[in-house]
Amino acid sequence: MPIIIDGKATAAKIVEEIKKDVITISENIHRKTILALLLVGEDPASQIYVRSKSKRCEETGIESIVLKKDASTSEEEVLDIIQSWNSDDTIDGILVQLPLPKHINESKVLYNISPKKDVDGFHPENVGRLVAGLPTFIPCTPMGIYELLKRYEINLNGKHCVVLGRSNIVGKPIANLLYQKNPNANAIVTICHTGAKDLSYYTKQADVLIAAMGVPELIKANDIKDGAVIIDVGINRIPDPNTAKGYRVVGDVDYNDVINKVSAITPVPGGVGPMTISMLLLNTLRSAKKEIYK
Ligand code: NAD
């Protein structure tokens, strides 16, 4: 029977661990741990994400400051807000919800967040530290994948991991994590992207396949090797008239097609997805503890 990697249960366990840690840290630093979130504009999905991040903070005892600005807010004003949060010693983590309105340069904003408070791990300094194998803030989704692999004791040492997707948010950071020389990694990593002419040539070689393309159910049983571990990051809505909402959410891997061929798999939903916010909380704690930047 394949192992179904339960991200929901693992994330809930991590949240319980964080709750205990938050109390100890507050006692040590004589104040609350604080995450500041900036939301610019009225994008409905972004509003939901910010609300759930803030809610999860409150559940663990981390205080969240949510600042909502309308879509016409200037880039200068956004940079001023970041600057004031950078210099506020009581703020441990800063998160700017993406996407930003078109007139605001996203990279410029992200690069202006202090690397020491960059709990999303998008600042070039933290990206560089990840590549160099130094302590750093790791982007939350890849960090969640890494944590799942670790907690399910999936040995990566010398294994061939094939990553599908090269985004800065998922593909590149997870690839960089997996080849690092440490007991929970040390894998041989291949990265595939839209340039791959025959994707299944690569996927069939994967001991561990990490799919982060955003292409619904592209990977079938014929594309994988027997006993592969599948980490499905994709979150795709496909029409389904049999559901109340008229759609359902699927991954990049055809779960029902591959299930009898895999040794372990993350379901969608309930696999990688629930891990992301708990990793944001963990990064905020790491910042409060000054674990990365002393
Ligand atoms: P992206 O669009 O930025 O990147 C997709 C990558 O996949 C690209 O690098 C592209 O080259 C590659 N790709 C696309 N089609 C391909 C194909 N046919 N063959 C080979 N490579 C192909 O997306 P992203 O932000 O990295 O997200 C990827 C997926 O993961 C999406 O479904 C997204 O919703 C999901 N996601 C989930 C979480 C979470 O679980 N919390 C977080 C982030 C992203």
Boundary residue ending a domain (116, 150, 175): 116
pTM of the model: 0.97
Give me the CATH number covering residue 205: 3.40.50.720
Shared domain check, 152 and 56: no
Domain check: are 97 and 174 in the same one? no
pLDDT single digits (tens) 80-120: 999 999 999 999 999 999 999 999 999 999 999 999 999 99
> Is there a domain that residue 85 lies in?
yes
Domain assignment present for residue 134? The answer is: no
The pLDDT value recorded for residue 224 is 98
Pocket of ligand 1 (CB under 6 A): 141, 164-167, 169-171, 192-194, 196, 199, 212-215, 233-236, 272-273, 276
120 flagged as catalytic: yes
* Residue 53 and residue 172 in one domain: no
Out of 147, 168, 233, 272, give the residue to mutate to test ligand 1, the one with the largest number of ligand atoms within 8 Å of its CB: 233
Are 66 and 144 found together in one domain?
Answer: no
CA dist 293 and 92 (Å) reads: 12
Residue 229, domain extent: 140-274
Percent of the chain's residues with pLDDT above 90? 99
**What is the per-residue pLDDT for 102?**
97
The band of 238, judged by pLDDT with boundaries at 50, 70 and 90, is very high
Q: How far is the CA of 198 from the centre of ligand 1 (A)?
A: 18
Same domain, 145 and 234: yes
Q: d(Cα 17, Cα 7) in Å, to the nearest integer? A: 15
Tell me, yes or no, whether 124 lies in a domain.
no
Residues 109 and 189 in one domain: no
Instruction: Examine the residue annotation and report whether 207 is marked as an active-site residue of this protein.
Output: no
Question: Is residue 17 in a domain?
Answer: no
Query: Kindly report the CA angle at 119 between 116 and 125, in degrees rounded to 5?
Result: 50
**Are residues 153 and 236 part of one domain?**
yes
155 plus 80 within the same structural domain: no
Question: Per the domain annotation, does 291 fall within a domain?
Answer: no
| Centroid of ligand 1 to alpha carbon of 293 (angstroms) | 30
Residue 77 CA to ligand 1 center (angstroms) comes to 31
Phi, psi of 244 (to 5 degrees): -60, -35
Helical residues (DSSP H) of 70-224, grouped into ranges: 75-86, 106-112, 124-132, 140-151, 171-178, 199-203
pLDDT tens profile 8-64: 999 999 999 999 999 999 999 999 999 999 999 999 999 999 999 999 999 999 999
Which of 4, 6, 2 shows the shortest CA–CA distance to 274? 6
- What pLDDT score was predicted for residue 177? 98
Beta strands in 125-235 (DSSP E): 160-164, 188-192, 208-211, 228-232
Of the candidates 6, 21, 92, 120, the residue annotated as catalytic is 120
Tell me: the pLDDT tens digits for 135-161? 999 999 999 999 999 999 999 999 999
Mutation test of ligand 1: which of 140, 170, 200 has the most ligand atoms closer than 8 Å to its C-beta?
A: 170
The answer to whether residue 63 sits within a structural domain is: yes
| Average pLDDT taken over every residue of the chain | 97
State whether 92 and 177 are in the same domain. Answer: no
> What pLDDT is recorded for position 294?
82
